[in-house]
Structures are given as structure tokens and as C-alpha cells.
Chain A
Amino acid sequence: MTLARLAVFFVFFLSGFAALVYQVVWQRSLFAIYGINLESVTVIVTAFMLGLGLGSLAGGALSKEPRRPVLLLFAAVEASIGAFGLVSLPLFHRVGEATLSLPPLATAGVTFLLVLAPTLLMGSTLPLLTAHLVRRSGNVGKSVGALYFVNTLGSALASVAAVALLLPRLGQARAVLVAAVVNWVAAAIVGGFAVVERKGAREA
């Protein structure tokens, strides 16, 4: 396995880690604003799912064009998720205070819009990297399996780290900061490899 390939798997592990930290913290934050009854929980979880689904479609559409630099796109996506992470909690609270008196359906819409941008970005990452790996390996199952493995493993680790370490020791705001830093590290690594790879391709 080449170093570049290893780097792709490693950054996707980091990406999965950061995503789950956000999910755990954002859910907690939104529950405090919109309530912890089943209806609120369902709206928030479904909003996450819808965002991921739409993001997957967007990532898939972006990956169709073979000449498009999918690794650079991935780096930009990770950096953007980190940037949103930084402003996420104050944004949730401001919007929450302003929209709390809205009817339930409107509240659901607001919640969806709040998590739409980051989850859309998160959802786009798997198709982008799948396209990158399939172009090199020619095997869909192995590419998806490996990517899904490292990403989900990162998320699994983040689930445990969030409740065993991050939330008890750091609280919500600093846990989100950790996730943002992880996003930027991932962006820097994959961005670096993408630049080197393009340079090599041009020289060849």
C-alpha cells in the first residue's frame, strides 16, 4: 500500500472521528434548546440523516468528472467543516433563542437548516474518496469497504472518547474545538498529498 493511499485512509479515520464528536455535542446542545422529548430527538436525528444523504448526492455529483481534483475537494470540505464547528455552538444558541416560540413544524425546519451545512459537507466525503480510490484500484467493494471501515472506526472511537474523555473533561465548547483541529489536520494532510500528486502528474 502506497503512502498516499495510507494517508487517504488515515484522514478518513480522522474525518469520521471529528464527525461523531460534532454529532454528540451538537445533539446535546440542540436538545437543551429544543427539548429532549421524543419528537425533538427524532427531528434532530432525522435532520442529521437528511443532511448526510444530500451531502452524499452532492459528493457523488462532484466526483463524476474524472479530471476534478477530488482530494483537494475533500481537503476543502474538511477545512470547511472545522470552520463551521468553531462557530456552531454560539450559532445554535442565537438561532435557538430567536426561534423557540415557532410552531413545531417550523422548529423542525430551523433545526434542519442549522445542521444542513456541516452534515452536507460530511456526507459528501465518502463518494469523493470512493471515486478517488476506485480510479486507482478498479474495485468498488474493496474501496468502499476499506473507506467505510476506517471512517466508521474513527466514529466508533469518537463515540467512546466523547463520553469517556472529551465531554467529562473538556465540556462541549472545547470538545468541538478538538474536532475542528482534527478536521484541519485531515485537510492539511490530504491537501498536501493532493498538491504533490498533481505536481507529479504534471511533470510526468
Chain B
Amino acid sequence: MSFSLSLWVAGLAGFVALSYEILWYRAYGIVSRSMPATFGWLLGAYLAGVALGSLGSRAFCHDDARAERRRLLPVAVFVYLANVASFLVVPALARLVTSVKWQLSLPLVALAAGLLGAVLPLASHFGIRPDDRAGARLSYVYVANIAGSSLGSLATGFLLLEHLSLRGARVALSVAGLALFALSGATATSTARGRLAVTGVAAVTLLATAATSRAVFEQVHERLFFRKAFTADKRFDALVENRHGVIAVTDGKVYGGGVYDGILNVGLRDDPNWVFRAYALGAYHPAPKRVLMVGLASGAWARIIAGLPGVERLTVIEINPGYLDLIPQVPIVAPVLKDPKIEIVIDDGRRYLQRHPGARWDAIVMNTTWHWRGHSTNLLSAEFFEVVRARLAPGGVFMFNTTLSEPVMKTAAVSFPHAQRLYNFMVVSDAPVVFDEARWRRTIEDYRMDGAPLLDPAGDAWDAKRMADLLYLPATLHRPPVWEGLESRESLLARFGHLPTVTDDNMWCEWHPSDLEEE
């Protein structure tokens, strides 16, 4: 193999390997519910495979170079098998997780990565002479591999995942993998017949991949999302795939990246997801003119908050623009995109706040995701609360979802001089936090959603009960603490003061989840 060909082989192998890793990470993120350890386990399996592949490749690195061309065949065979194995990782994972834990599929990743991992040492062996310049030449092969990996990461992350489905991206990568096979296979043979055979194998495999991919990827997202609860009749009502992630809707519930992200509900009559907490901003602040919300998701909270008395401007920061494609499909939240009061900014919430040091808001609201998901610390740590505190206008309140993490509640209570728990939310401020009973009643009675009142207590017995339950809420502050009620800062600190404070450094909420259900 010429040195320049070894560079191409190493580069293309890096491209294919990193591209597959990105696609695998997406699938494993969904199936593991974005747990913080997912990246480490996946990368560990991937690297272990690469390590074993490079070890196995040594068996083909003979000192005798007389039959060099014939001995290039292992490169082509490794590439071919790697391509087939890599293509099958996600469909196999999707089928496995319907009956076993996702971690048991990691050997598949190691196998596919191992076959690809053998290519770099083999390309080095056949392309570099064993002299004093071996180290220097190896550095070029290594750079080619890294350049290919970087390009793979950019091309797959920005182009393939933006414009193609998970299935489409995999078929596209098969083309790249088979091109690498054809390149190395054609080099391994000196006859026209041999080259024709290699091209034939590549073409037949590509056709077979394209022809069977629909069946192989059938309900792949449903399997990854529902895991053991998957049944053949489960299909998503809506699915948005882009380079930022996967959003799915089923039975009125929204899932982002494999995790429950909310219910499409804005009313108080049937309130399975406690959407009354959004209305409660009206009880905590007399006139929140400028409101910042981190996280748009289905848009239900944005719709409610924009309609609260006194709200003049609602800025919503959302990291995944895919929700903007979903919202117009759902009539109860579709007005969010047309409301002149609402400004939607696609950005990282923490970065947005840090980049606007001069901005002040009367209320900052975050109904964000589970505390045990990877990177949730960025929005739940003491350092983040410090940033938020500096962005509150005098008398401003910060309301956010702790998803029942006791260390997060403690962290909020020690970060602000005034705090109160509302169900799983913390409401914190530099000013006294007061749940105003009269304002609460007015908020519920006066609010109009599409011109209609939220409840009709005079004409409907169920609504009357709902109204009574909601109006009872302030009384719970003076009773022994229960999750479905209010709790004072003093009570919280007495109960959770001994727990660690969540910091950027310890990422406590992610690594020590409070209420994670076991599968």
C-alpha cells in the first residue's frame, strides 16, 4: 500500500467511526434517558473495542513484505465487517431493549468499533516503512485519521442528522463505509477480476442495505423510547428529528430525548401535570412585567404565563428548535408562536443569562427537565443560582422545577434569603416570598383561555371541587410539610440542611438522583 493510500484509508476510517459514534450516542441517549453515565459507558465500550481491534490487527502485521498486496486483504475484510456491524448496532439495540437492559448491548458497540479500530494499525503497517522516519510518517497517518474523525463529527452532527432520519443517516454512512471497503479491497488485488469482485460485493451490499433498511428500522424510535413497555401497536403521533435531538408525542405526552417532557395541557379542570404551578406566578408576583422562561418544550407554560395579568414581555430560551416544528401542530399551544408578547430565542439557557449581565427580569421561570439527566447541573447548581439572582429585578422571583431533588431544594434555600416550596417547585427571591391568597383567587377567577374561564365552580361540581382544592393551597404552608403543598424555607432547611449543596464541581443532582425509578 502506498503511503498516500494509507492516509486516505486512515482518514475515511476515522470519518466512518466518528460518524457512527455520534449516531450511536443519539440512540443510547434516548434508551438510557440521557443519564450522565451514558457517554462514559458508550465511550468505554467503543474504546475497548478499538483497543482490542488494534491488538488483533497485530496478527496480520508480518515482517515479511513479499506478499504485501495479498496481505492487504485483512484491511478490506475488517472494513467490510465493521460496516455491517456498525449499521446493525442501533436496530439490534432497539430490539434488545424491549427485553433486557440497554447496557447488555454494549458488546455490539465494542465489536463494531473493534473492527474499525483495526484499520489504523493495519494502514500504518502497510503504508509506513520501518525506518527512522516511522514516527514521523505515523504522525501523518494519525492526523489523517483525526482529520477524518473531525469531518465525520461535523458532517454527521450538522448535515446528516439535520436533513435525514436516523435510518437515512445510517444508509448514507454505509455508502462511505463501502467506499472505504472498495478502496482497500481494490488495493489488495492485482487482477481486474479481483477488483470487479470487490466492486460487486460493495454494490450488492449497498443495494441490500437500502432495500432492507425500512424493515430493519421499523418502529426503531418507539422501541428505543418505550423499551420493555414496547408493543407493536405503539406508534408516535408526531416525531421531530433534527441535529439537536428527537422529540416525540404520544397520547398527549411530549418526550424529548427519550424522557417525559410534559403534557399538552393548559387548563385547570383536568390537570394531570400540575400546570397550576404556571398560574401560581400570579400569586407570587403582583405584576411580572418582564418574564424570562428557560425551556419552551411544548409551549403550554409559555402560553399560560404570557396571559397572566401584568405580563408585558415573555422571553423564552429554548435549546432545541425542533419544538418550533411541533407547536404549530397542536391547537392549544399553537398561539404561542403568534403572540406578540412572546419572544423565542434558540440558545443555551445558562449561556443566555451569562451573556446578558445588564438584563433584569421580574420573574425567571424554569419548568425544566429531570434533575438526574446529564448536564442538568448547569441549571440547578449554586453557581447558576448566583447568576439568576443577579438578573432579578428588585422584588423579582425565580420559580423552577426541582423534580423533587432534595439537594436541589436545599441549594436553592441556601442561595437565596427567601424561599418557599410549591409542590416540586422552588420559589426564591431576595425579597420575602409570599403566596398571596387574594391574588391567587383573582388569577384563577379572572384568567381567560381562548375567551373562556378556567373553571366554572357555580355550574359544575367537579370544577367547584377543583377550585376549592386550589384555594386551599396557601393553608398547607402552616401544616406539616407534604409534597403536594407549600413549605417554608425554615422547614426545608430543617429537613434537608444536612444534604450536600449542588455545585458545578460535584454535579450532585445528576450522580445521586433522589427519586429515579428503577427499570
Stretch at the interface among B134-142, B263-271, B291-299, B434-442: B134-142
Q: Are A59 and B44 in contact (CB under 8 A)?
A: no
The residue from B40, B146, B154, B350 contacting A52, defined by CB atoms under 8 A apart: B146
Q: Are B130 and A56 in contact (CB under 8 A)?
A: no
Q: Bound complex: CA of A159 vs CA of B109, how far in Å?
A: 15
What class of interface size applies to chain B in its complex with A? 35 or more
- Considering residues A33, A50, A127, which has the most beta carbons from chain B within 10 angstroms of its beta carbon? A127
CB proximity of B263 to chain A, nearest CB, Å: 25
Q: Are B57 and A53 in contact (CB under 8 A)?
A: no
Q: Of all chain A residues, which has the CB nearest B507?
A: A167
The residue from B133, B150, B348, B511 contacting A37, defined by CB atoms under 8 A apart: B348
The residue from A34, A46, A167 contacting B154, defined by CB atoms under 8 A apart: A46
The residue from B40, B50, B136, B504 contacting A152, defined by CB atoms under 8 A apart: B50
Q: Bound complex: CA of A139 vs CA of B122, how far in Å?
A: 11
What class of interface size applies to chain A in its complex with B? 35 or more
Q: Are B355 and A100 in contact (CB under 8 A)?
A: yes
The residue from B120, B150, B377 contacting A32, defined by CB atoms under 8 A apart: B377
- In the bound complex, residues from chain A placing their C-beta under 8 Å from that of B505 are 171-173
Interface check A145, CB cutoff 8 A: yes
Q: Of all chain B residues, which has the CB nearest A67?
A: B132
Stretch at the interface among A79-87, A128-136, A181-189, A191-199: A128-136
A86-105 CB contacts (< 8 Å) to partner B: 100-101
Known A-B contacts A32-B350, A37-B319, A59-B135; A138 and B130 likewise in contact (beta carbons under 8 Å): yes
Q: Bound complex: CA of A20 vs CA of B133, how far in Å?
A: 28
Q: Are B40 and A153 in contact (CB under 8 A)?
A: no
Interface check A5, CB cutoff 8 A: no
Interface check B273, CB cutoff 8 A: no
Kindly list 13 other residue pairs between chains A and B, CB separation below 8 angstroms, not including A100-B354, A171-B506. Answer: A58-B139, A60-B139, A123-B142, A127-B135, A130-B134, A131-B135, A141-B60, A144-B120, A144-B124, A145-B58, A145-B61, A149-B55, A159-B43
A-B contact pairs, 25 of them (CB 8 A): A31-B378, A32-B378, A33-B351, A36-B348, A36-B378, A38-B243, A41-B157, A42-B153, A49-B146, A50-B150, A53-B150, A60-B135, A70-B135, A126-B138, A128-B135, A131-B135, A134-B134, A137-B130, A142-B61, A145-B54, A148-B117, A153-B48, A155-B51, A172-B507, A173-B505
Chain A interface (Cβ < 8 Å from any Cβ of B): 20, 24, 28-29, 31-38, 40-42, 45-46, 49-50, 52-53, 56-61, 63-64, 66, 70, 100-101, 123, 126-128, 130-132, 134-135, 137-146, 148-153, 155-157, 159-160, 162-164, 167-168, 171-173
Chain B interface (Cβ < 8 Å from any Cβ of A): 36-37, 39-41, 43-48, 50-52, 54-55, 57-58, 60-61, 63, 117, 120-122, 124-126, 128-140, 142-143, 146-147, 149-150, 153-154, 157-158, 243-244, 319, 347-348, 350-351, 354-355, 375, 377-378, 383, 503-507, 511-512
